[in-house]
Amino acid sequence: MSLAGVAQDLSDLRFHDPPYGEFTIARILKESEGRWTPLFRGVRRGFAGIGNILDSRSKLYRYLGVGSDEEAYEKLLNALERPGGLERVSAWRDVYREVESLYDLPMVRYYEKEARPYVTSGVVVGVGVDGTMNASIHRFSPIAARRAVVRLVPRHLYHIYKAGVEAGREVPIAVAWGVHPLVLLAAASSPPFGVFELGVASSLMGGLKVMELDNGAVAPFMASVVIEGHLTRELAEEGPFVDIVGVYDRVRRQPVVKVEKIYVLRDDAVVHYLLPAGLEHMLLMGFEREAKIWRAARSAVPRVKKVRLTRGGFGWLVAVISLAKSVEGDAKNALLAAFAAHPSLKIAIAVDEDIDPDDPVSVEWAIATRLRADRGIFVVPYVRGSTLDPVALNEEGLTHKMGIDATRPLDADPTLFERARIPD
């Protein structure tokens, strides 16, 4: 299904029309997140745009066809372990037209100090020396009509790129912009290297059609924009750009993409505007890690009620786990399991079942009333964390991590911790 088809099924659409100022789209995305889905008509001739298609769990669960956290976690984790097949479409060129320049695409800037317009939700498919394919989301910005710079973090596509450089070859890639939300979810996940994320999307969607490009890369069929090219050895300055933390990421030398072809849907080309550091960014980036924390915590403590990567931790660095412990030490085991399941995690908090991790006031209340600092706080020093952490000790994300056991001590009178309620 195209992104235009996805938009037609949404009940909370609000339409916006030109003229658009430089930051109009970003302002509307911020204003509407968690409230409605904006559709921007006429962002460029032949293009519309949409945002906040995955800015809430209710939207995500609707696409997944599930009704609870547990069902969603299980469905995603099963897809990661059992990816589906891909159906190659031979006549895909009939539904696409070609454009000459990256500047023909309706990219936008989101924040005032960003260096240039960006594609923030581009699914980049890279082909390794051995034919292994990886799909992941990377920010992408033009530096010339047929050249762009892409930010690579040290994960699977980076590994493919480094292997290509060492072998003296450029890496074939496809950049798909404007894809189904479940393709985005799959591309934001981290299965083991060698598991193709588009296969994960196929499992989630009950099948996925792809188009094979001349360079050997594939892209989801009916993506609004597909860019064919190669990652080169050339480097260029990338940034400044606002990342999920909500601050400006530093400028780095990053790989240059040599663009060979730019394909655009002839009809209903709808691109996806992903607001950096917005709710959609947080949910997409963190949901799969949340699922992995849930599974790991359940292996340590059978009764886990809810897991949340918190909004205050921008869906990435802070987790709250509500659970029922049977013996002292259960909560700490769950916290250690969370750190192992999500290596970027910086702070993990365990609370009792009566505390809602979605309510930061309730979590703070638990810390205030149930934490014994001498027993409940532990620090894991000098471990790899997140490169997004502004106070990490080096560029590789070396940090100290903190676990907080804010559960009720089992050796204390439980009536001292009962929350007062007014009856109906």
Is 358 an annotated catalytic residue? no
219-228 burial, b at 16+ Cβ within 10 Å, e below that, comes to bbbbbbbbbb
Catalytic residue selected from 243, 249, 268, 330: 243
Could you give the CA distance from residue 181 to residue 10 in angstroms, rounded to a whole number? Answer: 12
Within 8 A by CB and 6+ apart from 394, the residues are: none
Amino acid, single-letter form, for residue 178 = G
Pairing of strands 398-405, 269-273: unpaired
Tokens 């909560």, located at residue? 331
Tokens of 187: 């591309």
CB 176 within 8 A of CB 208: no
Q: Which of 390, 408, 366 is nearest to 313 (CA)?
A: 390
What span, in angstroms and rounded, lies between the C-alpha atoms of 51 and 74?
Answer: 27
Helix axes 69-81, 197-205, angle to 10 degrees: 130
Pairing of strands 47-51, 269-273: parallel
Q: Would you name the residues annotated as active-site residues?
A: 243
